[in-house]
Structure 1
Amino acid sequence: MRTVLINRAVLTVTLCYLAVGARAQDVLESYIRDGLTSNLVLQQRQISLQRADYALKSAKSMYLPSMALQVGYQTADGGRNIPLPIGDLLNPVYSTLNQLTQSGRFPQIENETINFLPRNYYDAHVRTTMPLINTAIAHNKRIHEQQVRLSELEVDIYKRELVKDIKVAYFNYLSTLQAVDVYRSALALAEEGRRTNQRLVDNGKGLPAYVLRANSEVAEARARLTDAELQVRNAQRYFNSLLNREADAEIDTAFNREHALLGAAGTIRGAQPHQREELTSLATAIGIRETALKMDRQFAVPRLNAFLDLGSQSEGFHFNDQTRYYLIGLQLEMPLFSGGRNKYKIAQSRLDVQEARLQLQHAQQQLELASSAARHQLESAWQNYQSAQSQLEAASAYQRLITRGYQAGSNSYIETVDARNQYTAAKLALVISTFQVLSAAATLEREQGSYPLIQ
């Protein structure tokens, strides 16, 4: 029966909300836009996203050839020598040829000595390498693509959390402001009561004890007002910190509470859950681990690289047609034995995938539970709000009745104090319950992921 009454009340308010129009939240939406632009933590998340994007570009560049200049220089003296008796071998032949030709066309040559160590030797070349077969590059590229998506989702997750925090902080600030007004009104009533009792005492119709009690009431009201003003400053500073503004920056309070309450009432029945970024993020994490598992399973696929060297090498720093060269080659790498490490790594990757899937299932349960709890919290807050309205009406009527009775002499001063306290408590309860409804609606909006994020 209780649920039916709640549904009827909510349906009635929802129809009124549709008749009134969209919620007037221009001020709050403006603050949300500012927060999504200037929040420091969000800027850090954006940097992480940019870092992941550059890592992806780096992974894609692994397909391209790489070029590097390599220069080596060596010089030495001493060490082992090899005697080469080239003169002893060729000079007799040259002498015979000179006699036969009757000329000196074949000169005598000296024996040579060859040293093993180079002297003033350089080798300068440009090496170009390019992968031809390497499955790890493709898997690494896919992993980085998924990591970019993961970073994007983390940014969106924090954006939604920030939107909720900004709304709740704004409502808390408005609530503390309203509480200050309530305590100021209570202080004014207490001071009026003190003046009334003082006049009665001066006229010989009152009791001094009532004056003392009135002084106590005034002091208590001032203490509560001071505490409420401190809470306003704290709420103001926290709200401004979310927007990365000066701590004491002024906050616009031109917020249409009635339209917001109607919208919150419509949220109880009308809001539908959306796909949460947290679940998409966990699904992406599963994809990353599955890609890593595929890469581990292909450990036996050979890797083939090609290289080309264009350069020059010589002794004595010569550079000509005789020193220039090119060198083309292929490099093949194939694992043969690693002591079973690859098998163990594959087993670990399988466990990582299983763990990620369990995390996704657990997160689904937790998010469903959180969404249900947020909806129930909003329903409870709405009931408390309606109850607070009734209590305020009753407390206001009771306070007026007791005040008139005290002035007529039919009620005691203690009864007026009690009536005034009830009235103050009822006003404060209505303020608190009002913004509890709005905060609960913001929490439900967060749990359902229904706030429209602008990319």
Structure 2
Amino acid sequence: MKRVTTPLLRHWQYFLVPLLTLFFPAMGQDARLQSYIEDGLRNNQGLKQQRFILERNLFALKEARTFFYPEVNFSTSYLDSRGGRKISIPIGDLLNPVYSSLNELTNSSAFPKVDNVSQTFNPRNYYDAKFRTSLPLYNAEITYNTKIRKEQIHLQQAEIDVYRRELVKEIKVAYFACQQSDEAVRILESAVSLARENLRFNQALVKNDKAIRTVISRSENELIGLEARLGNARNDAVNAKAYFNFLLNKPLDNALEIAQASELVSFTDSAAEGRREELLKLESLSKINALSGQLARAGALPKLSTFIDLGSQGDFVNFNKDTRYYLFGVTLDWRVFANNRTQYKVKQAEMEQKATGEQISQVEQQLQLQNKTAANTLQSAIQTYQAAKSQTTLSQQYYSDQQKLYREGQSLYIELLDAQNRLIADQLQQSISYLNVQTRSAELERARASYLFSN
């Protein structure tokens, strides 16, 4: 039988590259991934929403501070009425007898008769326009409201940090998923090429009466199955890249630079454990509850303020020195009785603060459990990956041996197919195991809050 050049040697790099790269760290991978993380932190829509909420809270703090300053308001009113209640003023009855006596004494009519007056209570053709300047002299509620607004900013900042850490983890996991999907495509593309070479080799054997036609049918079926799996793998790769672009807030079909998967020097997370932002959120919430209790107590304190009005009032359109006026005053507002309303509000704030304290204790335990679970899961993933890597190496050697035996006519084609399928399955499993290691590593980093943000 004529010796045919083995297709395994022709496609050796497709099987060796995934294995050899495991022992050499990719120098550019971290920089490329870090660049995508920074893009996501800048452009992610969910993070932008959280930042808008933070800006809203900043404006709310500025608004609260304005209550310490004077406030100037302009108000005006115009009144005109007809009818209604009246008051009778007997001017004529009082003055007419006197005027008559004066006319008789002076022998003249210089003093005419006067009619009685009927004056309505409602003003007629009357206006009042004024500028009122008011200033709080003492109001404890304004002070505590301002402190609450300030603490709400800290709460929202912690919320943003929580979202950022979760986003970093999601971007890393999505990036590793893109790596794994590309690796699966490369493995299956290599398998399809090998299947085509095997089909051509078997066709040559049948043509030279060295094998029966069954091997051709089996080769064709194997090729069809691998091509179908390759099509599915390519679709999975497209979907993985679309989701990755979604996290970056870029067009879903945007081109990406995804490095080939390569093992890091060490999977151990040596970074120092950081303070979880979830606890910072709860601590800020506890402070807000404490301030709310103080705000409730402040409602029972007196409120002292002053004001001055500068205006004009009189008949409509008239404006002169007689219509102009100023009014200065000091006001004291003190709630004397409200049926224990203040005490009830204080109790509500105290209960909320106690509930938040219990929640902090519970979350601390949950985070400790999450940290320990993530570390153990990562160790298990590393062991699984190392086992898969060893299995792939054995499958590679077994396939090479079966390929050699089949070329020499010392084994059946079904044994070669079995070795090939086992090799493909082990390579895919190794790729998935490596993705699992990277994913668990990102989860441990998230649990420890060890990722350092640039700003």
For normalisation by structure 2, the TM-score amounts to 0.88
Q: For residues 397 and 314 of structure 1, do their structure 2 counterparts lie closer, same or farther at Cα, with a shift above 3 Å needed?
A: same
Q: Secondary structure at the match of 2:308?
A: strand
Describe the shift of the 1:181–1:284 C-alpha distance in structure 2 as closer, same or farther (beyond 3 A): same
Does 2:331 match 1:331? yes
Question: For structure 1, which segment, 245-254 or 375-384, has the greater mean C-alpha deviation from structure 2 after superposition?
Answer: 375-384
Query: Within 2, Cα distance between the matches of 1:394 and 1:298?
Result: 77
Task: State the 1:186 CA deviation.
Answer: 1.1
Residue matched to 1:244: 249
Identity, % of aligned pairs?
Answer: 38
Question: CA separation of 1:313/1:29 partners in 2, compared to 1, >3 Å: closer, same or farther?
Answer: same
Counterpart amino acid of residue 205 in structure 2: L
1:169 aligns to 2:212 (yes or no):
no
- Inter-CA distance 213–453: structure 2 relative to 1 (3 Å threshold): same
Select which of 66, 72, 75 maps to 1:67: 72
Q: What aligned pairs does 1:6-405 form with structure 2 within 5 A after superposition?
A: 24-86=29-91, 89-90=94-95, 108=112, 110-116=114-120, 117-254=122-259, 257-258=262-263, 261-262=264-265, 264-267=266-269, 270-405=270-405
| Secondary structure of 1:336's aligned partner | coil
Is contact 1:123–1:312 with CA below 8 Å preserved after alignment?
Answer: yes
The answer to whether the 8 Å contact 1:119/1:316 transfers is: no
1:449 correspondence with 2:454: no
User: Quick one: distance in 1 between partners of 2:29 and 2:231?
Assistant: 32
- The answer as to whether partners of 2:89 and 2:119 remain within 8 angstroms in 1 is no
Deviations 1:20-47 (A, max 9, x none): 9987511111111111111111111111
Query: Which one is further off, 53-62 or 373-382?
Result: 373-382
The C-alpha deviation readout for 1:225-275, integer Å capped at 9, x for no partner, is 0110010010010000111111111101246834xx12x5242xx122110
- 2: CA distance between counterparts of 1:190 and 1:431? 21
Opposite residue 73 of structure 1, the aligned amino acid is Y
Q: For the residues of structure 1 that align with 2:377 and 2:325, how far apart are their CA atoms?
A: 80
Structure 1: state its 5+ residue gaps: 1-15
Which whole-Å CA distance do the structure 2 matches of 1:21 and 1:103 have between them? 128
* CA pair 316-298 structure 1, distance change in 2 beyond 3 A: closer
Q: Equivalents in 2 of 1:396, 1:236: separation in Å?
A: 30
* Code of the aligned partner of 1:147: Q
Give deviations 1:302-336, integer Å, cap 9, x for gaps: 22232221111102432111111111223322223
Residue 418 of structure 1 corresponds to 418
Q: Distance in 2 between matches of 1:200 and 1:180?
A: 30
After TM superposition, give the deviation of residue 110 of structure 1 in Å: 2.4
SS at match of 1:236: helix
Name whichever of 372-381 and 74-83 sits farther off. Answer: 74-83
CA contact (8 A) 2:93 2:116 kept: no
Q: How many residues align?
A: 432
How far apart, in 2, do the equivalents of 1:426 and 1:81 lie?
Answer: 105
User: What CA distance in whole angstroms lies between the structure 2 residues aligned with 1:170 and 1:90?
Assistant: 104
**Residues 120-142 of structure 1: CA distance to partner in whole angstroms, max 9, x if unpaired?**
01111112222222211111111
- For 2:347, give the aligned amino acid: A
Checking the alignment, whether the CA contact within 8 Å between 2:188 and 2:424 is kept in structure 1 is yes
C-alpha distance in structure 2 between counterparts of 1:115 and 1:255, whole Å: 98
- RMSD after superposition: 2.6
The CA distance in 2 between the partners of 1:133 and 1:420, in whole Å, is 85
Mapped partners of 1:271, 1:383: distance in 2 = 21
| Partners of 2:293 and 2:349 within 8 A in 1 | yes
| 1:135–1:447 CA distance, 2 compared to 1 (3 A) | same
Taking the aligned partners of 2:174 and 2:35, their CA distance within structure 1 comes to 14
Gaps spanning 5+ residues in structure 2: where?
1-22
Single out whichever of 199-208 and 84-93 deviates more from structure 2: 84-93
1:87, distance to aligned residue in structure 2 (A): 5.0
Cα separation, 2, equivalents of 1:22 and 1:404: 37
State the distance in 2 between where 1:282 and 1:374 align: 23
TM-superposed deviation, 1:360: 0.9
Is contact 1:121–1:317 with CA below 8 Å preserved after alignment? Answer: no
Q: Does the 8 A contact of 2:187 with 2:424 survive in 1?
A: yes
Cα distance between partner residues in 1 of 2:260 and 2:280? 35
Note if contact 1:28-1:255 (Cα within 8 Å) is conserved in structure 2: no
In the TM superposition, residue 203 of structure 1 has moved relative to its aligned partner by 1.9
Instruction: Give the C-alpha shift of residue 358 in structure 1.
Output: 1.2
Aligned-partner SS, 2:374: helix
What is the aligned partner in structure 2 of residue 430 from structure 1? 430
Structure-2 residue corresponding to 1:12: none
State the AA in 2 paired with 1:446. Answer: R
